[in-house]
Amino acid sequence: MKSTALIYSSDFNKFSYGAEHPFKVQRFRLAYELMECYGLTKLPGAGIFNPPAASDEDILTFHSHGYLSKLKEFSASDQPRADFRYGLGDMENPVFKGLYDWACLAAGGTLEAARMVSEQGYDIAFNLAGGWHHAHRSRASGFSYLNDSVIAINRLIEKGKRVVYLDLDAHHGDGVQEAFYDTDRVLTISIHESGMHFFPGTGSERETGSGKGKGYSVNVPLKEHTDDALYMKAFDEVAFPLIAAYDPDIMITQLGADTFRTDPLTRLEITTHSYSYVLRKLKALRIPWVAVGGGGYDNVNVARAWTIAWALMNGQDLSPRLPARFVKTIREMGYPNRMLLDAMHWAQDDDRNRALDAVEKSIAAIRKKVFPIIIGVYG
């Protein structure tokens, strides 16, 4: 019996948001190629699986009929279309032929990962093309059209599962938080760059849920220039103890790589050091684990991050130097990278002190408002 599953399809790479758009689908192929170079696609305890597309029935567990109809209509059109009521057709969320099929394939990958973990006994399943955490019930947002994590979590809830959703992307997981803001069946935790002056403008530590969900939405907003040590502090003092106390049946983790200090769209300063640290601690919890991709706008950072994640999920140690074949590939694409692993990074003193003050205030607020609820009930 294989214990880990990687969800990947060459069809993930068949579409394009446009030459000038920061999101490049080629990152999926590049990540898979790096895994191949390290021998991670032929591990004895792991399997590689093509995903089925999500069905309309699956999608309608979250998204509205009107939005679904509009997505299908625009996806079938040979001409550019726009409907800003649904967030479709602007520079952020372009419309292209086949969009709906592509989004359904990505969402189907996360559904399949959740099924493999919850029904087939897999310890971990990782859908590279998942993590579209900004999609709302009736609106595309933040490059996201279908919210695969919400759709998968809804299926898990139907089966009586209690779920933790942990979002490590640089952007707040607003669509997922919104979907489960009033329920105690899902604990959502997002560690992200503060929305004070950053998309999507949400994710304050004051957003803690409503009704039965009070205390079940947790946000750790990070000030720009937060570095490795501060990121690990946020995880260790908030996310880890809450996940351990809640002790879910399933853990879903969004593994966006746009937190890296060389990402062109964000201002955090973490590296593979703290990224790896967090993943090791998550695996040590031994909770059935569904992982999804997420953001990342430097393609080599994404490839490095997700290769590290897949290696850690399978207990594999990798050379800190990128394989020569992969270096040749990315050199031809204009990337100068030579190393898989980064040294631990410390931000400049003034920047770091401001980031430290901010994270300590957030941690204190969460410990006061959320810990008594979650730790009190489950701890």
Residue 245's identity, in one-letter code, is A
131 near 254, Cβ under 8 Å?
yes
Q: Helices in the chain by DSSP H: which ranges? A: 26-37, 56-59, 65-76, 99-119, 148-158, 174-179, 228-234, 240-246, 272-284, 299-313, 324-332, 349-369, 371-378
Strand 186-193 relative to strand 217-222: parallel, antiparallel, unpaired? parallel
Q: Helices in 120-251 by DSSP H: which ranges? A: 148-158, 174-179, 228-234, 240-246
Q: What are phi and psi of 258, to 5 degrees?
A: -85, 5
Q: What are phi and psi of 286, to 5 degrees?
A: 60, 35
Q: DSSP labels for 11-60?
A: GGGS--S-TT-S--THHHHHHHHHHHHTTTTS-TTEEEEPPPPPPHHHHT
Residues 6+ away with beta carbon under 8 Å from 236: 281
Residues taking part in catalysis: 134
What are the counts of helices (DSSP H) followed by strands (DSSP E) for the chain? 13, 8
Q: What are phi and psi of 153, to 5 degrees?
A: -65, -40
Phi-psi region of 294 (alpha: psi -120 to 50; beta: other; left: phi over 0): left
Q: Which of 235, 134, 218 is nearest to 176 (CA)?
A: 134
Residue 317's identity, in one-letter code, is D
d(CA 20, CA 43): 37
